[in-house]
């Protein structure tokens, strides 16, 4: 074939493009399709993107432009945005301030806690703050305890709205002065005499008695339901029974029946008493007055450690806090919609157009949030090119090793070779992250399943990870 020089160049270019085009048109692997058929999930109810890191062409692209419910993989959007918008050294401060005069250990004024939205302010941090307050010479507080939450907008929040399970820890709402994720940790064990149940409560709450359940025979199935928990601000009552066969168990409960003020106040009163202090005043929410002076403060871990907790263990309330921290960069009080706007603007500035993207709270614990597999793939490609890539990648669960992927693909070759964030809601199963294939190539992998049979789709997701590892 005698071709002119321009024709030869065009022919060569077409030959170069052929494998790329063929690559983009490849369907799902047989192993994945088989698992979907077994689960009775049609391919149209799924979206899949497999693309080598740094490549412009997708190896697999199925329904990649369609909006899907991402469940907790939405956390990848929020955490990467926070890492870049807030910066890797950003931290949160919880301040303790006072008004009035301190005379011989007596504070003739108010003690104020001012929050900035710390996603991980725990009871041990409160204890350290109170020790520092005592070290400043304060023993008796004669004024009020003022809780300053004004960094976040005061918005209505219904813990039962999402799934009718307000006691679930993941249904806790955001709070500028969030303490201990607003959970109650109940520990149960048969007592030494074998005739009753010993109940432990953390954090310790003043004026919050706990009525133990009866000790009973029987198996340990559905033991939480057998307890028949009823609680409010006056205490907790277990009106059911606890099987002896359960041994020692722990249950984390969202303290939805207590207001944020009641929860913080009861924890403070008990810990302040234990630290040797006295306080008989009232507790109120309000802004810090201009004449308040700082006594001490707690500084949280930085963003990389926060996003590690979020992505490894899929912490929803911490993610809500993070979206509001992004919003707070543009002024207080912070609102979720302002955080969502900032994230969308950040994506657009990186050349990622995402017209289908819907962010409600940034955690994926939502029936409204949407993103396409293609947009998620672009985000993961951008994250890989980011100078903060190591901090972001290390926040993701390592397949077969830790976090929410600890028990997945343990006996497969991909174990230890993939950093994957998973997501799970009713009718939704998802995953997104990176796979280091046996060939040494690294791939972005995204797969969303939105279908009533999604709960049976996990084997298909695992099959895709293994296939990318062995075939990539």
The domain that holds 103 is classified in CATH as: 3.50.80.20
Same domain, 335 and 408: yes
In the prediction, which pLDDT does 5 show?
55
Question: How many helices, marked H, and strands, marked E, lie in the chain?
Answer: 12, 24
Domain-located, residue 8: no
pLDDT in tens, 297-342: 999 999 999 999 999 999 999 999 999 999 999 899 999 999 999 9
pLDDT in tens, 18-49: 433 334 437 999 999 999 999 999 999 999 99
Domain-located, residue 7: no
pLDDT in tens, 167-190: 999 999 999 999 999 999 999 999
Same domain, 271 and 312: no
pLDDT in tens, 279-309: 999 999 999 999 999 999 999 999 999 999 9
Closest residue by Cα to residue 31 from 472, 385, 459: 459
- From residue 240, alpha-carbon distances to 168, 212, 236, 237, 314 in Å are 19, 9, 12, 9, 31
Same domain, 119 and 233: yes
Domain-located, residue 13: no
Domain-located, residue 123: yes
pLDDT, average across residues 52-69: 97
Same domain, 350 and 267: no
Same domain, 62 and 144: no
Q: Which residue segment(s) compose the domain that 380 sits in? A: 20-89+304-471
Report the C-alpha gap between 380 and 444 in whole angstroms. 7
Report the C-alpha gap between 175 and 173 in whole angstroms. 7
Domain-located, residue 156: yes
pLDDT in tens, 120-136: 999 999 999 999 999 99
Same domain, 245 and 339: no
Report the C-alpha gap between 182 and 252 in whole angstroms. 10
Domain-located, residue 202: yes
Same domain, 44 and 122: no
- Considering its fold, how many domains does the chain have in total? 2
Domain-located, residue 1: no
Same domain, 407 and 432: yes
Grade residue 194 by pLDDT with cuts at 50, 70 and 90. confident
Q: Tokens representing 367?
A: 């029936």
Q: Name 51's bridge partners.
A: 444
What DSSP state is assigned to residue 172?
A: P
């Amino acid at each position: 074939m005698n071709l002119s020089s321009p024709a030869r160049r065009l022919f060569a270019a077409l030959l170069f493009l052929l494998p790329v085009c063929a690559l983009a048109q490849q369907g799902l692997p047989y192993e994945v399709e088989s698992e979907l058929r077994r689960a009775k999930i049609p391919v149209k109810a799924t979206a899949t993107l497999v693309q080598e890191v740094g490549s412009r062409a997708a190896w697999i692209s199925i329904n990649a432009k369609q909006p899907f419910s991402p469940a907790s993989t939405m956390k990848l959007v929020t955490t990467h945005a926070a890492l870049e918008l807030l910066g890797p050294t950003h931290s949160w401060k919880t301040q303790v301030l006072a008004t009035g005069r301190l005379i011989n250990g007596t504070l003739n004024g108010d003690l104020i806690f001012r929050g900035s939205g710390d996603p991980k302010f725990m009871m041990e941090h409160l204890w350290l703050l109170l020790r520092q307050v005592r070290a400043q010479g304060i023993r008796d507080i004669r004024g009020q305890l003022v809780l300053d939450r004004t960094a976040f907008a005061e918005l209505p929040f219904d813990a039962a709205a999402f799934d009718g399970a307000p006691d679930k820890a993941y249904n806790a709402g955001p709070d500028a002065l969030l303490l201990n994720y607003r959970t109650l940790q109940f520990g149960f064990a048969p007592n030494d005499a074998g005739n009753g149940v010993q109940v432990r409560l953390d954090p310790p709450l003043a004026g919050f008695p706990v009525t133990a359940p009866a000790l009973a025979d029987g198996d340990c199935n559905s033991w939480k339901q057998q307890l028949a928990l009823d609680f409010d601000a006056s205490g907790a009552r277990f009106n059911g029974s606890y099987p002896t066969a359960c041994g020692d168990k722990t249950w984390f409960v969202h303290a939805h029946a207590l207001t944020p003020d009641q929860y913080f106040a009861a924890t403070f009163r008990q810990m302040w008493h234990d630290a040797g202090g006295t306080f008989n005043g009232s507790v109120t929410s309000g802004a810090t007055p201009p004449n308040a002076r700082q006594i001490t403060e707690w500084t949280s871990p930085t963003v990389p450690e926060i996003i590690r907790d979020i992505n490894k263990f899929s912490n929803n309330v911490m993610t809500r806090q993070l979206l509001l921290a992004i919003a707070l960069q543009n002024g207080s009080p912070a609102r979720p919609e302002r955080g969502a706007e900032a994230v969308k603007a950040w994506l657009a500035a990186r050349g990622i157009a995402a017209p289908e993207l819907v962010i409600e709270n940034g955690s994926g614990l939502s029936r409204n949030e949407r993103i396409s597999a293609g947009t998620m793939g672009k985000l993961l490609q951008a994250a890989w090119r980011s100078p903060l890539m190591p901090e972001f990648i290390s926040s993701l669960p390592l397949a077969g090793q830790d976090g929410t992927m600890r028990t997945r693909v343990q006996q497969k070759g991909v174990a230890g070779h993939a950093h994957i964030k998973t997501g799970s809601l009713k009718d939704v199963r998802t995953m997104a992250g990176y796979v280091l294939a046996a060939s040494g190539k690294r791939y972005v992998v995204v797969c969303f399943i939105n279908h009533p049979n999604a709960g049976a789709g996990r084997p298909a997701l695992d099959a895709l990870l293994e296939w990318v590892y062995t075939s990539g």
